[in-house]
Amino acid sequence: MALSRLSSRSTTLLQPLATTSLLRRRHISTDTTPITVETSLPFTSHLISPPSRAVETSSQELLSFFRDMALMRRMEIAADSLYKAKLIRGFCHLYDGQEAVAIGMEAAITKRDAIITSYRDHCTFLGRGGGLFEAFSELMGRTTGCSKGKGGSMHFYKKDASFYGGHGIVGAQAPLGCGLAFAQKYSKEEAVTFTLYGDGAANQGQLFEALNIAALWDLPAVLVCENNHYGMGTAEWRSAKSPAYFKRGDYVPGLKVDGMDALAVKQACKFAKEHALKNGPIGSNHHAFAFVFEQILEMDTYRYHGHSMSDPGSTYRTRDEISGVRQVRDPIDRVRKLIIAHDIATEKELKDMEKEVRKEVDAAESPIPEPSELFSNIYVKGFGAESFGADRKELRATLP
């Protein structure tokens, strides 16, 4: 996906790399000696004792955090350019600024644990082990996309890693996530479902209905509010009488987390998973929560782009606000400083790693779907195109 070739409007922008997954690790330390780091801010809790601020990590983990978040950031910047070049069509919601949530959550769970999210799903897909090739192919409507080019930006999917999308209807993933948690409990899987939604979806009625049934049935569900402070172009204080989203569960315990701190997210998600699976109470509220297994996590985060590519993101907030967050709370810079402070890598080595990431994102190629694909996944197999009196060859001959 060489950005330098955008002006040529090439139909072969994506080329498979030798390895396109986040699992590819070059020049990454294998040192797993424990390092203890304190979270940038304390956790704020609701009806539960918060986890410790002391988080155990390692050189290997910090370097992988840095590389993976840099890869996510570069992918979203490239998606911005492709969209402006009209090579990505339709809706497109970017995640740059919020990478710590995806990375920290993955560090605390396994691929047996399920994740379901909203339409801002590109980086969550990468975190689940998806590749750049499949991501860009999907964004550009190509057959090699993670949803065969038919889902687009809002409907990424990776079932083999328990990633169930990518949903375009605001808040619709909440009851679906509780359904996944029900299946896990019914099947005795000892796994948890993390259901992600934004502050804009936090006032949806279906969220509270799902929350109620999950608590009533003791489901292993963790509801994660990615609070980036703007639901589309509306600030949280204009849309929510109580913007303390981690308390919205009332009878369900909650935590407020610095969502720009990958290690804080990791600690909170580990804590929440253990709580969701634990048979009995947790924290100081012994009697109140003997049978409540789920939990709400509010990730205090921030998006640098607008709500979607149609939103410049600067009409309802100032550019100074955006640059201020970048300077003080940027999740990649925070990890960069930790790596340098612990003498794990030099500034130059980290810059070289970022250059490698740019090359990885700037490579790439995938075929445009056959016209006959217009009719696949619509009818029962054996029907579809045939019902129009045309096989694939005839159909291609009739279409421009």
What is the reported pLDDT for 14? 54
What is the reported pLDDT for 25? 44
Residue 15 — pLDDT band, cuts 50, 70, 90? low
CA 45 and chain centroid, separation:
23
Which tens digits make up the pLDDT trace of 236-271? Answer: 999 999 999 999 988 899 999 999 999 999 999 999
Residue 7 — pLDDT band, cuts 50, 70, 90? very low
CB atoms within 10 A of CB 337: 11
**Residue 285 in this model has a pLDDT that exceeds 60:** no
Q: DSSP 3-state assignment of 368?
A: coil
Which tens digits make up the pLDDT trace of 131-140? Answer: 999 999 999 9
Average pLDDT, the chain: 87
In the chain, what is the straight-line distance between the N-terminal and C-terminal CA atoms, in Å? 26
Domains of the chain (ranges, CATH numbers):
38-369 (3.40.50.970), 371-399 (no CATH)
What is the reported pLDDT for 366? 63
Tokens standing for residue 12: 């072969």
Q: Which of 18-22, 117-121, 216-220, 369-373 has the lowest mean pLDDT?
A: 18-22
Q: Which of 4-13, 40-49, 282-291 has the lowest mean pLDDT?
A: 282-291
**Residue 292 in this model has a pLDDT that exceeds 80:** no
**Residue 22 in this model has a pLDDT that exceeds 50:** no
In this prediction, residues 5-26 reach a mean pLDDT of: 45
**Environment class of residue 340 by beta-carbon count within 10 Å: exposed (0-12), middle (13-18) or buried (19+)?**
middle
What is the reported pLDDT for 377? 72
**Residue 316 in this model has a pLDDT that exceeds 90:** yes
Residue 369 — pLDDT band, cuts 50, 70, 90? confident
In this prediction, residues 358-372 reach a mean pLDDT of: 77
- For the chain, the farthest-separated pair of C-alpha atoms sits apart, in whole angstroms, at 71
CA distances from 25 to 91, 114, 331 (A): 32, 24, 20
CA 182 and chain centroid, separation:
22
Q: Which of 29-33, 176-180, 340-344, 350-354 has the lowest mean pLDDT?
A: 29-33
